[in-house]
Structure 1
């Protein structure tokens, strides 16, 4: 098995055109976009990485936005063709205008893959604590095939704590719940800060993700945690996990900051 450094060396960032294949709404203000590379090449990447979309402001100034890849594919079968991302709409945002204006068949410029927010082949942990808010959950969707392999081969357990304000904003919630029902070692725990579902699942919680960390008894000897999403959540969970004794290298972080 390749080391992380070897894996990253095979995924050198490149620039490429993306053609929109389809889009659907995941939530009132979040769209799921499916692209293919318009140069006919696949995008080989490590789940957890992101791409950058390049465009220009109205005055011609170049800019870019970063989006974690939500694409699910099995690396044992080779890289897939789809390039999937979740896009949060920000009122008045230049990137929002770009994405809302896209029609099927339209092309945009992108580069990547980038980032090291990935599962590491050398990990020997007993459990992963995956914690997210909003579109910060997209890397974990991409990781599902890897997690399935790790559960089967190493017997790891996985807890996904996912914070959303309402059931309508629980991105990919149906997919994660279905995955949990197929895999007893995977537990999906949605945390709703404003509104609970009409018929809550036993694993649904009312509050913020950081309020429920203690329920899962973070273990310095056996856990590795991933934190992705709102910076305040990431900081709060980072301090809580350090307080439980987790070493800093076992608390892997990626903060999402909305840009117009």
Structure 2
């Protein structure tokens, strides 16, 4: 469990082949409701893999556990070695090879930071090759609900052009705790945008997670002058 209501799952293709995907894409899990009606749920790939070395074997996803949810029951009932049906990868919420921006603003809430985790090797390459700067604004209510915080913090420590900024709306880390850091902010992610002065001449923004957050940040970024093609969005909705 990454957080009280979010689990991390590692899957592999049962034919032994790797899954070739672009960081930011998602897979769909297929299952049936109790009445036999087919259903599917989408999950962004969280896998950190150096794609320059070819496709990887691991398929990692973060799953929100929704009380009474059919997909939640499916995942909670899985044991090591069990099989589930999936398709993909799908989606275009990816870093584009033709981008020439100087900075990425990667904004997410809850499991919305999952695609940014998979983008880390690509971002490292871009920072090395063209000096790109990256800011990840990760929103949660409490420190215990931040996803993959250790991965993002370790990456920030190793890459001076990368900043990881947890934005906590209810509870800040206790002084002296491992989560306490000068880059931690109190409030919602959209309330922190002014500090980073979004600039249409330099920035491309990615928004992923809660639909209300995505809409609020989208309007705020347009207010800073970012044209719509420089604001890339993916909304997450929890389904039962």
Structure 1 runs, 4 residues or longer, greater than 2 Å off: none
CA distance in 1, matches of 2:137, 2:16: 37
1:233 to partner: Cα distance: 0.3
Unaligned runs of 5+ in 1: 1-24
Q: Which residue of 2 aligns with 1:143?
A: 119
- Does 1:208 pair with 2:184? no
Q: Secondary structure at the match of 1:177?
A: helix
Q: Which residue of 2 aligns with 1:129?
A: 105
Q: How does 1:48-59 map to 2 (within 5 A)?
A: 48-59=24-35
Q: Which residue of 2 aligns with 1:20?
A: none
- Does 1:241 pair with 2:221? yes
- Does 1:226 pair with 2:209? no
Q: Which residue of 2 aligns with 1:66?
A: 42
Q: How does 1:6-21 map to 2 (within 5 A)?
A: none
1:249 to partner: Cα distance: 0.3
Q: Which residue of 1 aligns with 2:233?
A: 253
Aligned residue pairs: how many? Answer: 236
Q: Deviations over 1:10-44 (max 9, x none)?
A: xxxxxxxxxxxxxxx10010000001100111110
Q: Which residue of 2 aligns with 1:9?
A: none
More strand by share: 1
1:169 to partner: Cα distance: 0.3
1:75 to partner: Cα distance: 1.0
Q: Secondary structure at the match of 2:2?
A: strand
Q: Secondary structure at the match of 2:124?
A: helix
Q: Which residue of 1 aligns with 2:134?
A: 158
Q: Secondary structure at the match of 1:26?
A: coil
CA distance in 2, matches of 1:70, 1:145: 12
Q: Deviations over 1:140-187 (max 9, x none)?
A: 000000000000001000000000000100000011011001101000
Q: Secondary structure at the match of 1:188?
A: strand
1:85 to partner: Cα distance: 0.2
- Does 1:78 pair with 2:54? yes
Q: Which residue of 2 aligns with 1:46?
A: 22
- Does 1:171 pair with 2:151? no
The TM-score, its normalising length taken from structure 2, stands at 0.98
CA distance in 1, matches of 2:39, 2:234: 21
